[in-house]
Structure 1
Amino acid sequence: MDRRSFIKRAGAAGAGAAATAATLAAPAIAQSAPKISWRCTSSFPKALDTIFGAAQTMAKYVKESTDGNFDIQVFAAGEIVPGLQAADAAAAGTVEMCHTASYYYWGKDPTYALATAVPFMFNDRQMNAWLYYGDGNALLNEFYATKGLYGLACGNTGAQMGGWYRKEINTLADLKGLKMRIGGFAGKVVEKLGVVPQQIAGGDIYPALEKGTIDAAEWVGPYDDEKLGFQKVAPYYYYPGWWEGGPTLHTLVNLAKWNELPKAYQAAVASACEAANCDMMASYDYKNPGALKRLVAGGAQLRPFSQEILSACFDSANATYAEISASNAAFKKIYDSQAAFRKDAYLWAQISEYTFDTFMMIQQRNGKL
């Protein structure tokens, strides 16, 4: 065989092998990185840029980490379904996923509340510790699976404020008959103390306060509360929001759709949710100090809840947990896990964070910072 013929035949064989390899590889690549477009409905309006933005951050990271192959479109509350129906839409398959606060659905089952925040439980760091290292995610998804959902933590506001009041709240007697907009599970706790809890969407709170339809309302904290202008109609701003020490938002995915995703895409969503979880807390920590100063300058009057009120609320919360645990096995299993970790978490916090933070706060008050 002459040299020219050999090169020609070798080239043809190489081209054939390359074509065969491409034919074999293409389906595998397509299967592992398919083009997918999902819809995510939020429980929040676009005006609340930090809360709504967590879903956008998650979607952005998913798209970038999959080279644009997995595209998640985020819709504000009301664009597809009302905000408080977001989880129902995801479970039903109306949308593939939602971004919401799980405790909005506690009326269907109190266990939902444990995924977000319940009174006198965790701060944001403790919640994350329990979720990621205390089997919290596994326990919650055992529950979510019974609802046709898969959940991933995707945002935290940090400890919230105790709300806006048209009059001062000095004693337990001042709570009697108080009509208060208060979210989720906490309403069941304060109801035992005479408060009349009201479920009102964020956009309807201001006019209800202004007209006197309600006497008080809690929302989130300085940055978001400033946007809603509550200080104009209810000047007393109480703290702390003992019912939400570290409220966690969740991305809830239709369980069947989640199971259909390639493992690489599941990993992309999980990683993106963790990133958004961190990002949202950092955003609030940066924005709340300035907002609080502006609110006070605008007339907001800061007030701490009295120890009498906090202690009574703490006892009411524990009584509520005992009542629900007696008849709801799923609630009891998750609550017991949280309560066990809480005991050790606050022991550690006393030695580390509390001591350091307290010293630094004293320096701030003394004008040394």
Structure 2
Amino acid sequence: MLAPLSTDHSVAVIGAGLAGLACGQVLASHGINVMLFDKARGPGGRMSSKRRPSATLDLAAQAFSVRDADFQRAVDEWIAIGCIAPWPSRTYQASSSGWQALNDSLQRYTGAPRMSALTRHLADSLTALPNAALTTSTPIAALKQMPNGWLLVDADNTVYGPFDQVVISAPPPQAQALVAPWDAKLAAACEERKQRACWAGWAIFDEPLPPMPSVDPEWQMARADHPALRLISRNQTKPGRESQPESLSLLAQLDWSETQLEQSTEVIAEQLLTALKSVLPRSVLLPPLTEIGAHRWRYAQPAAPHNDTYLYGSSGLALCGDSFRDGRVEDAWLSGHRLGQALIGRSV
């Protein structure tokens, strides 16, 4: 059992994706001093969005659903604030043999006007508190345990701390490198949580896609039956992005991604565009391209579900993230939120 943290304590959170932000929000709202670190230029992790001159594209999570009551309450707040909205409502199953409408009756949501709007909102509301801060472009390379707490050392050998508690929400392979010198149990847990890789491509066009037979011209997303291509998402159909041109996110199959993991982004982008063409009806020709590209997610999602929600050790280290549940957006938030509750002594 953890000794509850109090307002005299300080916590470092490594990783400002949804799990890290959710944990930091619980802690900071209870008066605990929180400092978040992220290696990227901004918060968001796999909920970040890519901005191009003519369009914004979501290259990881496209939408999310709700199963848990605690998460539903958070979602209701975000809807009221306006940083998420329902989407999609017109989804298809796509293959070379035809397109079929899908409807599983599950309400889904996306960020508005981009997926990263949700994590930006959480980061802004968190850092508005006097006892919380977010440091970006700061990859943490090592931890050091001192008599008065934990020190964090970044890639430039800058030292931060001391902190009473360190929460790591980074993917397990990255977390393992940090905890291995200090906590064998947590390191072993990271080793057990294997990760899957995923390529994500994008394509921006000068004109809208032409209509397809028996398909709603305002279709929003399609699940693809193809060895390379898994999902097609029309970013310009998402809330707040109606003015941007035809802009597709092309998420690859996990098995295919792992066979192509070290391939160049240029080759991957072309292969995903070819896959897109193969699942469109033969009568449909793509309009002129503005640009294509690809991004590699080396740690995209857990290889198998787990039931821990979060883990903590006896020395002041703790782990959270979707890899401790089942890889959904909801799982990331629940993991961080419930770890935060555990650290302040609430039963979860």
| TM-score of the alignment, normalized to the shorter chain, above 0.5 | no
TM-score in terms of structure 1 length: 0.23
Higher Cα Rg: structure 1 or 2?
Answer: 1
Structure richer in helix, relative to its length: 1
Higher relative contact order (CA 8 A, sep 6+): 2
Structure richer in strand, relative to its length: 2
